[in-house]
Structure 1
């Protein structure tokens, strides 16, 4: 019977320790649930205003307008319409003798140009051929915002 008495207090002790551990574990988990503070409502920051698109430069605006004029002149249905468009376009230039340079070849930064012409001659050329084969590669404006020089390149 001695063996039983040793086992009995030892088993009672182990059972009691196990019960205490379970009770403590259960209490802690209840405390965690009860004691856990509710998360504060997260306020979403106001949406940032959309970044403003950078305003196009005067050169970019002039290029867009001139490309439209060149296409209108070359695609006009009759001579009168082309002449009206040419008169409108001429208002963008410092004078009728504004140089128009057409790059025909470039190598190592050295440009070869076709025979220089004027804007008046170039616009009439577009009217006569009805083909706009060039695009604006460089533009220079004077102090008044009018085109003082135009450089064109062949479309590929």
Structure 2
């Protein structure tokens, strides 16, 4: 009988401890719910500035795009008369037919080596003959009238 009494009191104390533990756990969660949340710091309203307008391409960039297109049309012309017509239209973009065209063949530590200097007329005739545009515009200089006064090319 003494064993029954001990096991009965042990079961009772375990049950009591479990109920007490649940009650304490429940109280903690109520305390968290009852405590007021801290007020958020006031947010300063900054007037939103409109996004900057997209940058307009410079005159050099526009001229370079037009020249690339013109070079490709000269090189890709289907016959000689179309190539000659494209050459005449392209020459109108230059200050004169003797405008220098420099082709960079090598660059190291900022020092450039150029192929033999040529003129725009000769370069356009070269494009017409080879039917290949192997160079791209790396530097372009415009005069006061907005026409090309010097052109630097590089291999693609």
Q: Normalising by structure 2, what TM-score?
A: 0.68
Aligned to 2:121: 120
CA RMSD for the aligned pairs? 2.0
Query: 1:5-154 maps to which residues of 2 (within 5 A)?
Result: 49=50, 51-154=52-155
Aligned mates of 1:108, 1:52 — CA distance in 2: 37
Aligned mates of 1:109, 1:98 — CA distance in 2: 24
Aligned mates of 2:51, 2:66 — CA distance in 1: 28
Aligned mates of 1:94, 1:51 — CA distance in 2: 35
Aligned mates of 1:80, 1:49 — CA distance in 2: 51
Shift of 1:49: 5.0
Aligned mates of 2:101, 2:145 — CA distance in 1: 19
Q: How many residues align?
A: 114
List structure 1 segments (4+ residues) > 2 angstroms apart after TM superposition.
47-51
Shift of 1:84: 0.8
Aligned mates of 2:111, 2:72 — CA distance in 1: 29
Aligned to 1:16: none
